[in-house]
Structure 1
């Protein structure tokens, strides 16, 4: 994956009051931490930061942050939004060292939906797991986990064990999660397996 460049300025003042002052200047307060080094408080351009966040894949993108001539590679770990304006209020960056592996949540995408056997028969693509937790080298974090649904018919599904992850990337979860399924049209009966699974639950309610 590519590394994106972003510039920032150092912040000497921290705390809620200082953060509000930074925002009034059209910037976003942020911090870089980790790798056994002291945290560094920085300020990012607000317009650029909001553009990056809303462009997607923000939390799986590695950035090279330049602060007064010094460059640091880091990945966003979290960000806060204004509850009213939905603008970015704060960003936490984690430093990454060469060769380090990170646990990240990667978005799951269904591809070839238009040619899916089940979709052509009136079914719909249902993304059951919207993001997958994986362990990946810092320089090989996938932008997304793409699940090909072209061959799926109605009531078919794809689980984690059925997909091939990129080289060096491993699943960080425990269960064989369902990623994507093709659900029948509204009003159509569910698959026999689904009905059978529902019967014990119905009986337990009586």
Structure 2
């Protein structure tokens, strides 16, 4: 993990929706820092610089916030983003100190292409670990290059850097390489599932034509019987 981005933060003194809107109009971001038994510290961060720092730092970005001339390491815990405008609306941080170990969920990046006729399923996209606050891995890489169907990569197979401890179950399935299902097998499985649910599949044109022919034959036989009885 690279050195934490240094950002000068302003103390936030106004609260409420109106104050938050004014902060965002000035291209700034309201934020709060929790942790170490202290009262929450409310701050205002520069918008563009903070956005770039969070983007560069990944899911567990660590920032060095200068608050009233003092530095506070802050680990990102939650980022609220406007769903339409895609701008950051608020950030929650946890205060940490150098050398302190923290629990984080680190993303899994799958690389490469598995063997022919296989399907790669990423069963878990993050894994829980303990690491020093200033040495949190941005992600773990898992290569599936050329792997055959039936291969499973577990949490214990991950290559963890020194100082990082796995907290997740060692047998947690991370990546599962399975045999790719053929179109015919998929169709058969869907029909079986529909049958189990009591859903009738659509009849083919040939099946409809056979049913119509059979119905006409039954009608003709019935009419013939009725005519014979009336004679």
TM bin (shorter chain): 0.7 to 0.9
Structure 2 residue 127 is matched with structure 1 residue 126: no
Match of 1:31 in 2: 32
**SS where residue 19 of structure 2 aligns?**
helix
Match of 2:43 in 1: 42
Q: Deviations over 1:162-184 (max 9, x none)?
A: 22322222222246211112233
1:28 Cα deviation from its structure 2 partner: 0.8
Q: Deviations over 1:106-163 (max 9, x none)?
A: 000123x14x4x1xx1434332211111111112211111113235212312011222
Structure 1 runs (4+) greater than 6 angstroms displaced: none
Q: TM-score, normalised by structure 1?
A: 0.79
Match of 1:107 in 2: 107
More helix by share: 2
Mapped partners of 1:176, 1:162: distance in 2:
9
Match of 1:197 in 2: none
Q: TM-score, normalised by structure 2?
A: 0.71
Mean CA deviation greater in 168-177 or 137-146: 168-177
Match of 1:193 in 2: none
Structure 1 gap segments, 5+ residues each: 191-203
Contact 1:102–1:135 under 8 Å retained in 2: yes
Over 3 Å counting, the alpha-carbon distance change for 1:189 and 1:60 in structure 2 is farther
1:6 Cα deviation from its structure 2 partner: 2.2
1:68 Cα deviation from its structure 2 partner: 4.0
Match of 1:16 in 2: 17
Q: How does 1:93-172 map to 2 (within 5 A)?
A: 93-111=93-111, 113-114=112-113, 116=114, 118=115, 121-150=116-145, 152-172=147-167
Structure 2 gap segments, 5+ residues each: 186-195, 199-231
Match of 2:191 in 1: none
